[in-house]
Amino acid sequence: MPALGEYPNVWDSAIAVLEQKGYTVWHDSRTDMYGAERGGWDFLADSPISLLGLVALYEHKQPDGYTEYWWRTAPRRSSLDLPTTAPDYTPVWQR
């Protein structure tokens, strides 16, 4: 069992973090998508946790303005090259 996973019982915490960061958050019932906006920068995702991840990309990059593909960050490796098993470690909940 991981210390934290993407489950609906975490959604309210993700929304709270976004709001505490100053984002306006909403759920679009027509598209069943979640949105957030602050300072004219808006984000749309399938879940509040994914929405928080998009905001994390924005906050990491800190773009001066909108340009195409402003969010791109050169990866050390592709998602296709990731290991297929977890590394050997002791989870915090087992310590």
List the pLDDT tens digit at each of the 95 positions of the chain.
788 888 999 999 999 999 999 999 999 999 999 999 999 999 999 999 999 999 999 999 999 999 999 999 988 898 899 899 989 988 888 88
Strands (E), the chain: 24-28, 33-38, 41-45
Residue of 83, 22, 12 whose CA lies nearest to 48: 12
pTM of the model: 0.87
- In a 3-state reduction of DSSP, which class is residue 20? helix
pLDDT of residue 37: 98
What is the rounded CA–CA span in Å between residue 36 and residue 27?
Answer: 9
How many beta carbons lie within 10 A of that of residue 56, not counting itself?
A: 11
